[in-house]
Structure 1
């Protein structure tokens, strides 16, 4: 078996890259050590957000990805339950509202659609919100998908375009010709390839180590609570507190929680969001889960009477500068990366896949990949691992 491109990892980013590379005419093989969407992609809420991005390369990629989701992938939107529900960001204090207004000014300059929401207008958007909030901002571009369906259908579409997918196949090393990467060694045999793409999510740092290059992707644990089903549109949008943006941008290893609440088509309510760097510890944290519940009730008091059915956790692929790693690795020609998207991987996957396919095909990518360069991290970063 030979390929133009081996994609390591069958999560949402790997699936998007495989799909767009297949459409570009490349012979693609996807290898996944476990099951499809078996890592971080199965543990998120499926958010496609621009509201939580500050001005800079990540927001540029988020806006570009929105275009890909809605235009290039628009004909398939029903397959993965794409819902353009919009996001409502709320501030509890006048100080928080002032910061939110300042953020929105910069976002509008970059092309984000934002509508200021006054204190007395909040409950027109969400009737069950607490009456004590200072105001908010509405982001109509925010959307949601079912991430496991995205992975399954993108890989099915990629297979229809000629791609092959091998699960339960772990990459154990790389084939080399001098410094150049020429394929992968796997538990199912060697696969020679013109290029190898590291899309292993939270485990991408370990894959990079096999190629003797350093990519500082670390796990950042988060929990989600799932309630019993409620009547349709009890909560109409993705709703979160303004401090969520700061938590996303923080590098603090300690537990951080900020309320994020949204409904699903099935009527259940998803409640996040927590962040902490504890390695790959899968122990359920009563403190994190209890804090999430309390903060969600502070936003929506009616949730006090709603039962939680279950909780689940996942690991965001975190990079120290909060930007993903996208593009070719000059330290190991033939090796490419698409990883480190932290909690934004679902939303950014479409744009990442399209950009990687363009670059692999020798075309000029629609966005400059320089800010996402794999070798941008100083040598001193190795001390963090």
Structure 2
């Protein structure tokens, strides 16, 4: 079976890999290149700590396990000159200041009931794990299964593996559909038509626009986020550390600016600082306010950051679904069209299982978890529009 995957970000690369491993002939089409947009403008989170009970948490638990095997296979399989994925099973620490401890504990207890490891930390245990935390932090929960990859490198590694299995990469823009009756039979690019038995829309924040080009409707919207990067330093942050406000920001439907604190070190010695969320379309203007808020909140969590130099800051666009679940599966109106989009900030972490769900939908391969909650035809997605 010949399958076109539109988008060479993490979700497109994971889908291409799963399809190629299942025996499909795969053509990946991206207008810019591998990991050129969202997947190079994020932190590489592989989290279970921010997921409350529900379908996404179940998907995240399976994906978290899958990444441990996948990253090892990708690193062992890499070609000459190809860097490693930088997978780190570093664990996460979620903290609360005065007044937030009770809610933090209640959330952790709900997660334990679905099998997420969440260990409450006394003050001395918290300081042992993160000695440079502000003394104002009142409570912490340790999530030993949280992990991280370098997102661009991991995306490149997945697609490199798919290409070694025969997948083809073409740099081209999708400008229209190829049809066989009602069925989608490929795509049109400025260089000509590419035909296929199935097309998978993995265009991230642009997935709604791509769906419209192909005659479908998919309500995926861009949600802008900013990240700060410090100059390299001796390691002083040992886990992914974020405040409890991050969870509520992830689940919010508010279009206005929301910021929370996420801080972590990288193998290169830099510190990544986030995060912000706001719906401003694809505008890159007016980023000073979120950057200033992020910086201010980060110094409250780790006071040493106030005297740290920034190397750079950058913004990217996350694919936001109004009901806060990714859309994975067959389109309801256009035969031959499938979608895998709407993961927002969880795309890196959910990539392996998303790819397997795509292979299930397109080829009938075994599904890693129940696909029903993620179908693009679900009422919660169409009613939330």
Give 1:213's match in structure 2, choosing from 206, 210, 216.
216
User: CA–CA distance in 2 between the matches of 1:284 and 1:107?
Assistant: 37
Q: Deviations over 1:228-249 (max 9, x none)?
A: 1111x31101000011100000
- Aligned to 1:171, the other structure's residue is in SS state coil
Moved more, 170-179 or 81-90: 170-179
Contact residue 52 and residue 245 of structure 1 kept, 8 A: yes
Q: Deviations over 1:176-230 (max 9, x none)?
A: 1222111111122111111100000000000110122211110111111111111
Which consecutive segments of 4 or more residues in structure 1 shift more than 6 A? none
Q: Deviations over 1:237-296 (max 9, x none)?
A: 100001110000000011101111111111111110001011111125221111111110
Change in CA separation of 1:223 and 1:257 when aligned onto 2, cut-off 3 Å: same
User: CA–CA distance in 2 between the matches of 1:243 and 1:108?
Assistant: 20
Give 1:57's match in structure 2, choosing from 55, 58, 64.
55
- Aligned to 2:216, the other structure's residue is in SS state coil
Q: Deviations over 1:60-111 (max 9, x none)?
A: 1111111211124432247211011110000002x41111111111111111
1:111 corresponding residue in structure 2: 115
User: CA–CA distance in 1 between the matches of 2:21 and 2:338?
Assistant: 18
Q: Which runs of 5+ in 1 are unaligned?
A: none
Residues 3-14 of structure 1: pairs in structure 2 closer than 5 A: 4-14=2-12
Q: Which runs of 5+ in 2 are unaligned?
A: 77-83
TM-score of the superposed pair, with normalisation by structure 1: 0.95
State yes or no: 1:150 paired with 2:159.
no
1:171 corresponding residue in structure 2: 174
Give 1:195's match in structure 2, choosing from 195, 198, 216.
198
Contact residue 219 and residue 382 of structure 2 kept, 8 A: no
1:15 corresponding residue in structure 2: 13
Q: How many equivalent residue pairs?
A: 378
- Aligned to 1:367, the other structure's residue is in SS state coil
1:226 corresponding residue in structure 2: 229
Q: CA deviation at 1:380?
A: 7.0
2:73 corresponding residue in structure 1: 75
2:312 corresponding residue in structure 1: 310
Residues 1-385 of structure 1: pairs in structure 2 closer than 5 A: 4-77=2-75, 79-93=84-98, 95-167=99-171, 169-231=172-234, 233-377=235-379
2:81 corresponding residue in structure 1: none
Change in CA separation of 1:172 and 1:53 when aligned onto 2, cut-off 3 Å: same
Contact residue 5 and residue 196 of structure 1 kept, 8 A: yes
Change in CA separation of 1:161 and 1:144 when aligned onto 2, cut-off 3 Å: same
- Aligned to 1:5, the other structure's residue is in SS state strand
TM-score of the superposed pair, with normalisation by structure 2: 0.95
User: CA–CA distance in 2 between the matches of 1:375 and 1:166?
Assistant: 29
Q: CA deviation at 1:366?
A: 2.4
User: CA–CA distance in 1 between the matches of 2:178 and 2:152?
Assistant: 31
Q: CA deviation at 1:361?
A: 2.1
User: CA–CA distance in 2 between the matches of 1:380 and 1:61?
Assistant: 21
Contact residue 323 and residue 381 of structure 2 kept, 8 A: no
Q: CA deviation at 1:36?
A: 1.2
User: CA–CA distance in 1 between the matches of 2:380 and 2:102?
Assistant: 36
Change in CA separation of 1:217 and 1:189 when aligned onto 2, cut-off 3 Å: same
Contact residue 216 and residue 381 of structure 1 kept, 8 A: no
Moved more, 199-208 or 35-44: 35-44
Change in CA separation of 1:65 and 1:310 when aligned onto 2, cut-off 3 Å: same
- Aligned to 2:196, the other structure's residue is in SS state strand
